[in-house]
Structure 1
Amino acid sequence: MHEARQRLEHARNSRTAQLRALDESGQSADDHLMSVQAEAIQRVLLEIDAAFARIEDGSYGTCLDCAKPVPEERLEILPYTRHCVTCQRRAAA
């Protein structure tokens, strides 16, 4: 779990830096693209917080739909994912 926490901290720090850069860009808060980017980053930050909560409750790395383990490779790429690839594809369809 130590590695998972490190990956999540890295993801959180990166997204926080992205938000800060958007704020410092000098663009108008009414700029549609900037607003969409900020909202997407905020959603990811919420997902990261939820992943930390799953670590705490022991459910991290388990798909929330099928309850099977999420492959380590997927967690390395997307450490805040809630679902295995199969269930994610089903949800997107």
Structure 2
Amino acid sequence: MSLDVTRAETHAHEARRRLEHARTSRLAQLRALDESERGPEDHLLSAQRTAMRRVLAEIEEAFTRIDDGTYGVCVSCAKPVPAERLEILPYTRHCVACRRRTA
């Protein structure tokens, strides 16, 4: 097994670990929102639930990118997303420059 393959497997393992942690955290937050005593008509609570579900979908998409080998590559410019950005936001699809353009 080459060093590059071992390195890629290590990166994929670390990415999965970070994504699993992010998913677990977001699911706990969503459960807490669902258990809130406020009613479904609370617009702020509804917006928070929607945001949590959107992030959970992004996390699942990131798992797919790991499986197909495109994780860590910006979907806009196809350049590598810096490792530091992936550590902070493991489900990101964009590098900082492209994210600024899409925001």
Letter of the aligned partner of 1:68 in structure 2? K
Partner residue, 2:9: none
Partner residue, 1:23: 34
- Matched residues, percent identical? 70
Return the index of the structure with the highest Cα Rg: 2
TM-score under structure 2 normalisation? 0.87
Shift of 1:34: 0.5
Q: Does 1:11 align with 2:22?
A: yes
Pairs aligned (count): 92
Q: Which has the higher contact order (CA 8 A, sep 6+)?
A: 1
Shift of 1:5: 0.3
Unaligned ranges ≥5, structure 1: none
Q: What is the rounded CA distance, in whole Å, between the counterparts of 1:29 and 1:91 in structure 2?
A: 31
Q: After the TM superposition, list the runs of 4 or more consecutive aligned residues in structure 1 that deviate by more than 2 angstroms.
A: none
Letter of the aligned partner of 1:71 in structure 2? P
CA-atom RMSD in angstroms: 0.6
SS of the residue 1:55 aligns to:
helix
Letter of the aligned partner of 2:42 in structure 1? D
Give the alignment partner of residue 60 of structure 2, picking from 49, 53, 59.
49
Partner residue, 2:86: 75
